[in-house]
A and B are shown apart, each in its own frame.
Chain A
Amino acid sequence: MTTAGLLFFDGLLLISIVSLAWAALASRDERRSVILFMAFGLVLAVAWSRLLAPDVALAEAAIGAGLTGALLLAAAHKRPARVAAGEAHNIVDHGRTGMDALLRWSVTLLCAALAGALAWALLHAFGNPPQDTLPRAIAANIEASGVSNPVTAVLLNFRAYDTLLELAVLLTAVLGIFALGQTTPGYRPAGPVFAGLTRWLVPVLILVAGYLLWVGAHAPGGAFQAGATLAAAGVVLRLAGRQHVGLPEGDLLKVVMAAGVAVFLLVGLALLVMGRPFLGYPPAWAGVLILVIETAAMLAIAATLVVAFIGGQPKPAGGLADSRTNVKQKPGKAAQC
């Protein structure tokens, strides 16, 4: 009875994932596809938690559905001209259409090839008895890792190299965003209801981020989920029309953005000096070191994601008055709708 019910639920989940993905791809209105993509991410998060992977589910909901959706919506907002015309395809010249079709087909082919390879790998995996050498190895060494959540143990201790490089990728990305120049003034000030919501939502988001960071040591959570939640506070502030989205100013911002990689490297090098392997924490110190690294990583991830959302370097402090006048100067139809 219960198994049949769960099977039914899983079937529904699968059908919704595939149909939401299809609807998001097939929609010609960019905003509609982004919103469908966010719904797709949320359903995917439910699927991850059904697969007993709550860490991935949290990351998918916070980063995949929430922040990526916000980024895509902001990108779609910036070029409304193409969105408005559903018939844009008929207007553009043939060379462009040809390129579009070529791009679309090559992406489709690549995706099909990837799906085929994954299906082949899965089929292969199902043919063999399940190998639990990795979970057993983690369980055998979890005491030495300093945390009791196996996912955090892998991310911050056993495979800390990978996480360090991921943070380096984020740092590189934010350098690219900084190269885009200064950010646009942003949205007009929020109405009373959204302003009121912002006033209590932002502190709650900050609190939740701290909780996720702390709880990551022994339950699902950690720096990436916490950073995404903290960044969501910045996104809310930006949407509410605040010029300051909670980012520190000037050089301090650069320090915060580099903090993840810097603290990671400092810890690793200090351990090298002390005669241990690079990032090979002594078991007695592992818990504290992981918390320090994760705190720095959370701040860096949050700052990076907020900078990505505002789409450029934040304006210096003096720019507040400028931006106000900028907003006032063009209250045209773009500001209205």
Chain B
Amino acid sequence: MINLLSSILIVAGLFFYLAGSIGLLRLPDIYSRLHALTKADNLGLGLLIFGIAIHAQDLLTALKLLLIWLALLAASAASAQMIARHALRCETRP
């Protein structure tokens, strides 16, 4: 049961990573690429982390995994905003 649930979560996470990567490679301009990369990958990592955390031996390990996700959420939200801001100022407008 636990194995099935975690497999579903991990496969779903990988799907979002794949979607994000395809978006990064295929979308036409920097803003939509950023959107694909940060949004889809955040969700992908979240699902992946939950899938792994189910297997964790104790609560502390699961909380550490959750912390990794939160740190990445903050980092990718901030870096997406900064890259978009720089692009808006210096390169192209959407």
Chain A residues with CB under 8 Å of chain B are 191, 193-194, 196-197, 200-201, 204, 336-337
Chain B interface bracket (under 10, 10 to 19, 20 to 34, 35 or more): 10 to 19
For B78, what are the chain A residues with a Cβ–Cβ distance below 8 Å? 193-194, 196-197
For A194, what are the chain B residues with a Cβ–Cβ distance below 8 Å? 78, 82
Say yes or no: A191 contacts B82, CB within 8 Å. Answer: yes
- A sample of 8 cross-chain residue pairs with beta-carbon separation below 8 angstroms, ordered by A number, consists of A193-B77, A193-B85, A197-B75, A200-B74, A204-B71, A336-B90, A337-B89, A337-B90
Q: Which of B71, B81, B89 sits near A193, CB closer than 8 Å?
A: B81
Interface centre among A196, A197, A204, A337 (most CB of B within 10 A): A197
Q: Within 8 Å of chain A (Cβ to Cβ): is B86?
A: yes
Known: A197-B74, A197-B78. A191 touches B85 (CB 8 A): yes
For A201, what are the chain B residues with a Cβ–Cβ distance below 8 Å? 74
Main SS of the interface on chain B?
helix
Chain B residues with CB under 8 Å of chain A are 71, 74-75, 77-78, 81-82, 85-86, 89-90
CA distance A116 to B85 in the complex (A): 47
**Which A residue's beta carbon lies closest to that of B82?**
A194
CA distance A337 to B86 in the complex (A): 7
For B74, what are the chain A residues with a Cβ–Cβ distance below 8 Å? 197, 200-201
CA distance A232 to B41 in the complex (A): 24
CA distance A194 to B71 in the complex (A): 14
CA distance A204 to B70 in the complex (A): 13
Q: Min CB distance, A264 to chain B, in Å? A: 33
**Which A residue's beta carbon lies closest to that of B67?**
A204
CA distance A204 to B72 in the complex (A): 13
Q: Min CB distance, B59 to chain A, in Å? A: 19
Q: Min CB distance, B80 to chain A, in Å? A: 9
**Which A residue's beta carbon lies closest to that of B80?**
A193
Say yes or no: A193 contacts B90, CB within 8 Å. Answer: no
CA distance A196 to B74 in the complex (A): 10
Known A-B contacts: A193-B78, A204-B71, A337-B89. Give 9 more (CB < 8 A). Answer: A191-B85, A193-B77, A193-B81, A193-B82, A193-B85, A194-B78, A197-B74, A197-B78, A336-B90
